[in-house]
Structure 1
């Protein structure tokens, strides 16, 4: 039956794919381009004609959608409308700017967002656009001038009616008209007025100069509307109808230039194409990724009585064709709908027929295969039973092997305590030895603290194994928990005073008798207090509070430390979990062990925390002894001696808090510097003190602090732990090696991860060396010296011969790019005597201090020395190979005077420039 259903599923999948393909075709058919068209004003005839041409051309592309907006001559409104189109997700923007400067930013915004922009008629103040479509106003004006010259046969007077003062079309048409009349010196422009592109304003301005119109042979207006007004004024003044009136636009339709030329209102009109058709054509070339021209200058011609009828005929034909296209488009859409409906019916019919045949065949096939399938199932069941038995046997063996490993692990943990005891006793003798203490006290205390740390970890591991195997047995007794807590707090007072932390006990009664195992509960409280002291900053406060009711007693430890992140709260009691955001790391066993010990007491432990405000751990114990078994109870009180020994294990690591390293401001600054990044303060201070003998040392205990110190100090070498709070050693290395300010610094990674894969992973982060903990200090020192020596050899090799064409042998690509950029900037500015280090810093994009340190590290010289060396080498080359005078060479290489140049040159090469030049000339 599985085979049958499998084949049935395959058939259904095939038909599903057929439907999906059909849906994809439908989606493809319905996919459209959205075109935004922003027009500065749509009320005048020329702009209306532009919009009609846009719609006519769009009718040839039925898959396109047009979003149109008319700004009505308001630039601010046009900017807002264009922004709304961009936010709607248009595919291309076509814009006819009202003004160049105000519309430039929105055009650049669309262009920078990857939306193609086509500008019509007027350009913006920037070249950030995809294409321009428009006529050349200068050429149109020139054509009008040439036509006027021919029409007047080279003699006569002209009045020029111009558009809006200061607008680019007005300026260009006026300039072109004057250019066209240059061939006809007998023609003069006797007067000029501004009609502001309007018929009414033109009439008012011409009436003011009506006396000068009596001697006019022609009037040239910058558009047909002003030309129409000019003819009206001439007729009102009853001046000769022989006066020629020439306009610009030649628009079709009612009231357009073509009609006015045809009815002899105008003598001629120069065609000023709107560009609507060409803009849409260019838009689809861009959207379809075809080749297109960025600058599309439209052609023009003069229309007069000789060709006006032909132009009108062509326009009427275009209009008729447009109506036919729209009518055919409507019929095509109707046919598409009919075709899709018929296709759906056909598909359903075919699928139904095929499924009927398939199901009939499958039913027959199922009858024939049923017996064979049942036999196969019986065989499979037997095989599964055999495999299950084998798995049970293997699980038993694996459990026994695991138990053996854990027993070995537990036994080894017990064995560790003996050598640790043998280390601890002689060590304490050495610490108390007055002869040895002055010489090795610091190192002995460091060993002493870490021995107790190992002892604490081993004790926790042994307790963890006991709990896991139910071998941790309670031995409870009745004790005053208030006095018990006071004794524990007394053990932590010394550690708290070291950091000036105030530990306060708050209780609602001085005596509260509770049944508990003193040797277990002290571990819980010790762990909570130890954590609180670790995370509470200096001058902080810790509250230990005890309250009780009729059934339970509650003990809480609250600090004002950094708190715990919300995402880590639910994991704090898990085995081996370590928070990633805290600078102080632990083993991950303490809190999980505390949780298990509280479960043995039939109590509970909870945590409350707010990030950057502190953490509160609460313990709940039941009153009375009814919840304990009889064999768990014993008589007696807590032993203060045992309590003291347990306290030493938990407080030893807190007593030697790392002290800040005080730098002597009067000491000699060492030549080379090392930045050490390590979250273990003991190891951090140990390495800092050791390296301080030979190097300038900087310390950081987190990855983020290390990155900041690297940028600020720019050390010669960095030693970093791989596992760090904040940024890890690997991410720190990748960031510093990819930054031009620090890419040259060698980095050594320290890690407890010793596998080959982990070492390769560390080296792939561009680290220069990878050393596994525990490491030999002498080997670490040798590695540091080797890396610094190699860096010095690389630097000396490059500085030994700096040429204008040679490439620096820098192994790191980022350092090579920095040297190339730096050398190129200096080379380009050698002749600039005011060239300064600040200009190089600004050009490269780093601070002045970082530039000095970077150049010093890579080239072994200061920036000013490098610039001076390049100037002298360039001067030396010019003296040998060119025939410039010494004064000319002085200024070519950026010296302020020949005398200063001569002095510097002599100090470098041992002779003055004139003497050097003579030694290079043949005898």
Structure 2
């Protein structure tokens, strides 16, 4: 590849070519690219060592406006300007087809693959497998990882010599590994011929062409390096000419029938290149002579001019230099002063940080004492006191939340010790399968209660790992309890354990709500909570989990698909070589200690037993109804129980169902949390307040966000009240009473006898518009005796049910009574101020007959219309 690039670049002598070699190290390749970018290039040609690690640096290059031509190997992303290379899948398939054509009958085959993480190895293996599958002549296919190099292939083949005895043919992903296979077979001195097929077909000493000619291997699939095509594509890009984004190079199989022809072609190309280089050398000599002569002439002219001006400029520059030196000295003094101030500020900041951390640790310790003092009396009351169902339920709720606080305090202290006190592990050799089974055993009753399939899958009966028993169990408690929080009833939580390459891998998989890729990227950051509306933790558990795994010299990663699944993968090294002497300690697994710790994690998973709200046995409907929207089941039950003594209660556990409940039941008041799944409390408030069906309903927002900015944001969302947690229940009850009283005053205002033009303005614009539209339509159609609810709902644009509820909530009347009152009021006005007959007034206000009008009028005012008219004139 490099030779082809140099050949093509020899036609462009004005181009500077910078070349680096990472020697198979992906991290070094990323660092080399960044160094090149700092020096400045116009275009980057890169052959990725592995598919994944180069994605980020390629994106960085493109972000700087530098085109990127990917050659030979692909990245796992489509972020590149152009790609030049062979189709590795087709090369693998071509090798497989040739492989089958040269081997008769059923055969045992061996495939020596390249690095498992590189795209050529993956694609060649897939193409080879597809060709073999189609042929259906492979009895057994063995695979070894040669990692592209001779040493790796030699080691892999040496470890599996017994396998080679039964192999009939070998396919190696490159000629180097194919040569290793031939050498190993010669050492084994097998008496039967074994067909060997490689990939590359490179010319030169030790290349694939020479191996085929010497019959070291039988054939090789030509892998076009694409160096020439990459340089040509690069110049098209730089010259803003049309180019192919993906250029796939053709290949062929080289064997004894065409190897001599290929060698002759290469020797001829090499000879032509040497001629070009020799001619370029001669041209460079002529250019150098010309430049030297031109330089001498220019120097003579310039010296004549400089002699004239140098004398005057020398004195001027001397004076300017002195000024600059004085200015630099002053700036240097200022910089030194700022540096000393920064050092002093840094020292003060470090002291302040240490003081904060000490206070943080001390206050966390102090929390444990009052929590312990609360826990004992509450447990005594639960087991010994004679309490009714409601009192027992409230005590169990307090008992549960004490354990939650204890877990948070312990996590904070553990994180402080690891992050800032440099705590080390006390590792001992124990069976990690026993530890996982002990942890799983503590979750069995919860899994059974929620019909969740919780199982450990392992082909190993025993797996000895050096770990700290008092720390690693917290990792599995955290991961499994998190899975329970986000898995629905009837779901599954599977733990898979398997051993490979001196490493034990543990996968904790669930089919819960999952995460987006962006959320998964930040999930291990301390105090981070995924913005999925299901914030069910402190954001510290997974950060602590990662710290504990890193102390064990392991790693933890996560893969998640939104609304499908999440898999946390833990990898721990086997043996003790990775541990320091002071990290080793003798410990055994204590099931009792694990069970005691489990109670802190169960607290968040257990649901407080519901004893029913007072409304369950209260058969008569309440005067007012309240919708409570809260995703915490315990708080929802507490509010429902307390408020159910006074109001009819509707409930919802997320924002979207809360909106649906509001539209369905049109309650008199809504209480909502701010942080809710699917739709936040502020979004819910804005939606309900902007909808004519629910705009009149008072809304109280509850939140743990106590800052003034959050309160202002809540009021901007048109909430009627904003209360922070923990809240005083009598204050909440009084707030509800006042809001409902104000709504009653508003009803009285709209249904009073005051004329429309003298009424006070309505506080809510949508409510005012609704009342004006409703009243205006009825006033315009009072003479229509067939006026009905269907006509009004069509005219205003709401359903009949919503119209009934809205009018009832705002005016306190049903629609029929309201229409009747307006007809009688207008009739009263006409009898007093207009000179119309009783019959005319009857039809003007929409009554079908004068007799019916007279009967209804008398029932309302105590006299007939005729008598009323006489009274007004006397």
TM-score (norm 2): 0.62
Name the residue aligned to 2:763: 811
Preserved contact between residue 603 and residue 619 of structure 1 (Cα < 8 Å): yes
Alignment partners' CA distance in 2, 1:365 and 1:725: 75
Name the residue aligned to 2:630: 678
Describe the SS at the equivalent of 2:836.
Answer: coil
Name the residue aligned to 1:165: none
Name the residue aligned to 1:573: 524
Preserved contact between residue 676 and residue 718 of structure 1 (Cα < 8 Å): yes
Relative to 1, partners in 2 of residues 1:577 and 1:660: Cα closer, same or farther, differing over 3 Å? Answer: farther
Question: Equivalent of 1:388, from 339, 352, 362?
Answer: 339
1:287-686 alignment runs, 5 A limit: 371-436=322-387, 438=389, 440-656=391-607, 667-686=619-638
Name the residue aligned to 1:733: 685
Preserved contact between residue 663 and residue 694 of structure 2 (Cα < 8 Å): yes
Alignment partners' CA distance in 2, 1:555 and 1:905: 84
Name the residue aligned to 1:766: 718
Relative to 1, partners in 2 of residues 1:435 and 1:498: Cα closer, same or farther, differing over 3 Å? Answer: same
Larger radius of gyration: 1
Alignment partners' CA distance in 2, 1:365 and 1:890: 111
Is the deviation greater in 701-710 or in 805-814? 805-814
Relative to 1, partners in 2 of residues 1:884 and 1:503: Cα closer, same or farther, differing over 3 Å? Answer: same
Is 1:796 the counterpart of 2:796? The answer is no
Question: Equivalent of 1:711, from 627, 639, 663?
Answer: 663
Preserved contact between residue 798 and residue 809 of structure 1 (Cα < 8 Å): no
Preserved contact between residue 580 and residue 725 of structure 1 (Cα < 8 Å): no
Preserved contact between residue 533 and residue 676 of structure 2 (Cα < 8 Å): no
Is the deviation greater in 430-439 or in 813-822? 430-439
Is 1:895 the counterpart of 2:847? The answer is yes
Preserved contact between residue 404 and residue 604 of structure 2 (Cα < 8 Å): yes
CA shift for structure 1 position 751: 2.1
CA shift for structure 1 position 470: 4.0
Alignment partners' CA distance in 1, 2:569 and 2:559: 8
TM-score (norm 1): 0.58
CA shift for structure 1 position 374: 4.1
Relative to 1, partners in 2 of residues 1:476 and 1:872: Cα closer, same or farther, differing over 3 Å? Answer: same
Name the residue aligned to 1:868: 820
Relative to 1, partners in 2 of residues 1:626 and 1:828: Cα closer, same or farther, differing over 3 Å? Answer: same
Alignment partners' CA distance in 2, 1:763 and 1:374: 61
Describe the SS at the equivalent of 2:384.
Answer: coil
CA shift for structure 1 position 705: 2.4
Relative to 1, partners in 2 of residues 1:659 and 1:439: Cα closer, same or farther, differing over 3 Å? Answer: closer
Alignment partners' CA distance in 2, 1:471 and 1:641: 28
Query: In the TM superposition, what whole-angstrom CA distance separates every residue of 1:603-625 from its partner, at most 9, and x where no partner exists?
Result: 11111211111211121111111
Alignment partners' CA distance in 2, 1:666 and 1:890: 47
Relative to 1, partners in 2 of residues 1:879 and 1:456: Cα closer, same or farther, differing over 3 Å? Answer: same
CA shift for structure 1 position 641: 1.3
Relative to 1, partners in 2 of residues 1:366 and 1:432: Cα closer, same or farther, differing over 3 Å? Answer: farther
Relative to 1, partners in 2 of residues 1:802 and 1:846: Cα closer, same or farther, differing over 3 Å? Answer: farther
Preserved contact between residue 393 and residue 611 of structure 2 (Cα < 8 Å): no
CA shift for structure 1 position 911: 1.5
CA shift for structure 1 position 657: 5.7
Query: In the TM superposition, what whole-angstrom CA distance separates every residue of 1:557-602 from its partner, at most 9, and x where no partner exists?
Result: 2111111122211011111110111424210001111011000011
Alignment partners' CA distance in 2, 1:804 and 1:421: 65
Query: In the TM superposition, what whole-angstrom CA distance separates every residue of 1:640-669 from its partner, at most 9, and x where no partner exists?
Result: 111011111111221226769798598222
Preserved contact between residue 672 and residue 699 of structure 2 (Cα < 8 Å): yes
Preserved contact between residue 584 and residue 679 of structure 1 (Cα < 8 Å): no
1:839-850 alignment runs, 5 A limit: 839-850=791-802
Name the residue aligned to 2:832: 880
Describe the SS at the equivalent of 1:850.
Answer: helix
Is 1:910 the counterpart of 2:858? The answer is no
Preserved contact between residue 431 and residue 462 of structure 2 (Cα < 8 Å): yes
Q: What residue ranges of structure 1 are gaps of 5+ in the alignment?
A: 1-361
CA shift for structure 1 position 722: 2.4
CA shift for structure 1 position 525: 0.3
Describe the SS at the equivalent of 2:359.
Answer: helix
CA shift for structure 1 position 832: 1.1
Alignment partners' CA distance in 2, 1:561 and 1:537: 7
Preserved contact between residue 397 and residue 608 of structure 2 (Cα < 8 Å): no
CA shift for structure 1 position 833: 1.4
CA shift for structure 1 position 793: 1.7
Relative to 1, partners in 2 of residues 1:366 and 1:786: Cα closer, same or farther, differing over 3 Å? Answer: farther
CA shift for structure 1 position 804: 5.0
Query: In the TM superposition, what whole-angstrom CA distance separates every residue of 1:170-212 from its partner, at most 9, and x where no partner exists?
Result: xxxxxxxxxxxxxxxxxxxxxxxxxxxxxxxxxxxxxxxxxxx
Preserved contact between residue 552 and residue 621 of structure 1 (Cα < 8 Å): yes
Alpha-carbon RMSD across the aligned residues, in angstroms, is 2.4
CA shift for structure 1 position 753: 2.7
Describe the SS at the equivalent of 1:432.
Answer: helix
CA shift for structure 1 position 431: 1.2
Name the residue aligned to 1:689: 641
Q: What residue ranges of structure 2 are gaps of 5+ in the alignment?
A: 1-312
Alignment partners' CA distance in 1, 2:551 and 2:823: 83
CA shift for structure 1 position 517: 0.9
Alignment partners' CA distance in 1, 2:315 and 2:775: 85
CA shift for structure 1 position 885: 1.8
Preserved contact between residue 477 and residue 515 of structure 1 (Cα < 8 Å): yes
Preserved contact between residue 678 and residue 700 of structure 1 (Cα < 8 Å): yes
Preserved contact between residue 658 and residue 682 of structure 1 (Cα < 8 Å): no
Name the residue aligned to 2:778: 826
Name the residue aligned to 1:178: none
Alignment partners' CA distance in 1, 2:677 and 2:387: 37
Alignment partners' CA distance in 2, 1:777 and 1:799: 33
CA shift for structure 1 position 789: 0.9
CA shift for structure 1 position 688: 1.2
Alignment partners' CA distance in 2, 1:659 and 1:542: 27
